[in-house]
């Protein structure tokens, strides 16, 4: 492979997406993100449990260590692919590592399971299936609330789990994708209020910063995908502009509000936010359409990332 350590390769990107769409995620025992999660859990167990300053400092150390391990791993793989392996092996190894930073098929499988359970009228099973999409307690949610929570999670995860890592791969190669995935994983594990109020502060703020562009890019891609799915695009724009900043997160509300408008449904987390207040109650059929729009947006984002790597790095010209 003729590239730099921080340079994206369109062949790697295309192969990584193909691997994801065909095979999905590897088992946790072979998944780098799962390895990182175990490492973070180990650090959290020995972190101070009292004292705001001590927890803030410990949280900063956790972030630095997790990012360092991810960067070193990605740079080692990038170095190996550049200097040691033949082209085919190098592209395959890099693609396998890149695939571990995003998930399209897995997200579709999880959302489809919730939609199927709702269609069958099995609320208990739908609540259980929702746990694979979000951390919200589903035990008291009715069918419409389960559908709404799943729609929100699909829209947010298309940004966090697909568009953002591919954006950073196109920008900074394998290290960029790995660093983003590490930061987002940290935010998912400790970047929330309550037990990790101070320990997770650094992780949450870093994730907010990294997602400023990808979240808004995702909202735009969802609106574009909605055009050929005959969704309510004009309403999607209206709800995005009006409600995009409603959630506490500076980023998550953008794709969620766009999706609420596209589907013309109301998405609410009681006591926190209401997106698309004039929309209908969410149903399983809305969740199915949300996934179709999100999948199209993800593939459109992949195409944009490939085009970006080709144009920005002069890949075609140099060959």
Read off the pLDDT of each residue in 179-205 and give the average, rounded to a whole number: 94
- CA nearest to 281, candidates 146, 132, 96: 146
Specify the DSSP class assigned to residue 194.
S
pLDDT for 317 equals: 44
pLDDT per residue over 115-150, tens digit each? 999 999 999 999 999 999 998 899 999 999 999 999
Task: Please check the confidence at residue 302 and state whether its pLDDT lies above 80.
Answer: yes
C-alpha–C-alpha distance, residues 94 and 12, integer Å: 6
Least confident of 60-64, 89-93, 141-145, 275-279: 89-93
Task: Please check the confidence at residue 22 and state whether its pLDDT lies above 50.
Answer: yes
Share of the chain above pLDDT 90, in %: 85
pLDDT per residue over 91-115, tens digit each? 999 999 999 999 999 999 999 999 9
- CA nearest to 206, candidates 162, 251, 161, 158: 251
pLDDT for 316 equals: 45
Other beta carbons within 10 Å of 51? 11
How confident is residue 194, by pLDDT bands cut at 50, 70 and 90?
A: confident
pLDDT for 314 equals: 61
pLDDT for 81 equals: 82
How confident is residue 311, by pLDDT bands cut at 50, 70 and 90?
A: confident
pLDDT for 4 equals: 67
| Two tokens, residue 133 | 């999409």
pLDDT per residue over 63-75, tens digit each? 999 999 999 999 9
pLDDT per residue over 219-273, tens digit each? 999 999 999 999 999 999 999 999 999 999 999 999 999 999 999 999 999 889 9
Based on C-alpha coordinates, what's the Rg of the chain?
20
Residue 105 has, within 13 A of its CA and on its CB side, a CA count of: 13
Q: H or E segment at 8?
A: none
How confident is residue 2, by pLDDT bands cut at 50, 70 and 90?
A: low
Mean pLDDT of the chain: 94
- Provide the terminal-to-terminal Cα distance of the chain, rounded to the nearest Å: 11
């Amino acid at each position: 492979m003729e590239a730099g350590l921080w340079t994206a390769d369109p062949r790697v990107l295309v192969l990584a997406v193909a691997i994801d769409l065909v095979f999905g995620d590897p088992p946790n025992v072979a998944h780098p993100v799962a390895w990182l999660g175990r490492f973070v859990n180990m650090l959290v167990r020995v972190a101070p449990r009292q004292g705001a300053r001590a927890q803030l400092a410990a949280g900063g150390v956790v972030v630095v260590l997790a990012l360092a391990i991810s960067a070193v791993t990605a740079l080692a793989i990038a170095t190996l692919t550049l200097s040691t392996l033949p082209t085919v092996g190098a592209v395959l190894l890099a693609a396998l590592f890149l695939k571990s930073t995003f998930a399209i098929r897995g997200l579709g499988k999880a959302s489809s399971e919730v939609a199927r359970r709702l269609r069958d009228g099995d609320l208990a099973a739908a609540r259980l299936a929702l746990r694979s999409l979000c951390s919200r307690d589903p035990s008291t949610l009715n069918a419409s609330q389960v559908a709404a929570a799943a729609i929100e999670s699909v829209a947010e995860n298309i940004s966090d789990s697909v568009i953002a890592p591919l954006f950073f791969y196109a920008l900074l190669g394998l290290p960029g994708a790995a660093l983003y995935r590490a930061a987002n994983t940290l935010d998912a594990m400790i970047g929330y209020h309550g037990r990790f109020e101070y320990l997770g502060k650094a992780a949450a703020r870093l994730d907010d910063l990294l997602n400023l562009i990808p979240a808004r890019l995702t909202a735009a891609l969802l609106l574009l995908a909605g055009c050929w799915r005959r969704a309510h695009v004009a309403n999607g724009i209206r709800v995005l502009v009006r409600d995009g900043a409603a959630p506490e997160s500076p980023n998550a509300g953008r794709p969620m509000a766009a999706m609420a408008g596209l589907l013309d449904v109301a998405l609410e987390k009681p006591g926190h936010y209401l997106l698309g207040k004039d929309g209908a109650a969410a149903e399983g059929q809305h969740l199915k359409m949300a996934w179709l729009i999100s999948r199209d947006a993800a593939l459109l984002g992949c195409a944009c990332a490939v085009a970006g790597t080709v144009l920005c790095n002069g890949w075609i010209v140099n060959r």
